[in-house]
């Protein structure tokens, strides 16, 4: 058996003496093993269970081995990549047509502003679904005057695929594809 210094419910070292300890330190007796193989459970010194793999890390608060973080790729549609959408849309044909439409129509200006705020700041999925539908309708209406080209089915499909790739919910891309939700 060996004496160990305990500080803040953690093994702080081996105790050569048991009297006149520094402030906040106590003594606990435990097995004569390397400190790395031991932990203090709040009352006694315990031996850690065997480490499952070299990648497992000891968690002193949970007093157990934690599995390493998964190296698997993230699950699709787990959370939308708003920065990816902002970077992809910037300078694209979609951005260009929104900009031209905003110069022509006050309602297209409002829709384009909401689109930019949603993508870059608020990250609200309901706003994104609404504003994509609204801006596409505005561009479609302006295209009827000949001032701008409407988005083709292929361009809408490309946008929908990009939203899927970036982890946005299916409801948004289905709306762009004109399918029921």
The pLDDT tens digits of the residues spanning 56-78 come to: 888 878 888 888 776 655 554 46
H-helix segments, the chain: 82-89, 93-104, 106-117, 125-143, 153-165, 170-176
Query: 171 and 96 in one domain?
Result: yes
Q: What is the per-residue pLDDT for 104?
A: 92
Query: 158 and 94 in one domain?
Result: yes
pTM beyond 0.75, yes or no: no
Residues of the chain by 3-state class (helix, strand, coil), percent to 5: 45, 15, 40
Q: Is residue 75 part of a domain?
A: no
pLDDT tens digits, one per residue of 24-33: 889 999 999 9
Could you tell me which residues come within 8 angstroms of residue 58 by beta carbon, excluding any fewer than 6 positions away? 39, 48, 51, 64, 65, 66
Q: Nearest 5°: phi and psi at 13?
A: 160, -175
Q: What is the per-residue pLDDT for 179?
A: 57
Q: Is residue 77 part of a domain?
A: no
Query: 120 and 48 in one domain?
Result: no
Range of the domain at 94: 82-176
Q: What is the DSSP letter of 60?
A: T
Length in residues, the chain: 181
The number of folded domains in the chain is 2
């Amino acid at each position: 058996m060996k004496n160990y210094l305990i500080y803040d419910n953690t093994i702080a070292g081996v105790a050569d003496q048991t009297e006149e300890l520094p402030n906040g330190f106590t003594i606990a007796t435990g097995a004569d093993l390397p400190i790395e193989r031991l932990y203090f459970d709040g009352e006694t010194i315990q031996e850690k269970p065997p480490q499952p793999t070299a990648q497992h890390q000891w968690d002193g608060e949970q007093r157990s081995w934690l599995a390493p973080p998964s190296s698997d790729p993230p699950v699709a549609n787990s959370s939308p990549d708003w920065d990816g959408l902002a970077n992809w849309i910037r300078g694209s044909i979609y951005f260009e047509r929104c900009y031209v439409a905003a110069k022509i129509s006050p309602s297209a200006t409002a829709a384009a502003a909401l689109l930019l705020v949603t993508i870059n700041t608020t990250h609200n999925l309901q706003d994104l679904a609404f504003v994509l539908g609204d801006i596409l309708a505005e561009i479609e209406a302006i295209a009827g005057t000949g001032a701008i080209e409407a988005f083709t089915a292929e361009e809408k499909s490309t946008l929908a695929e990009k939203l899927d790739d970036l982890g946005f919910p299916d409801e948004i891309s289905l709306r762009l594809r004109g399918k029921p939700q």
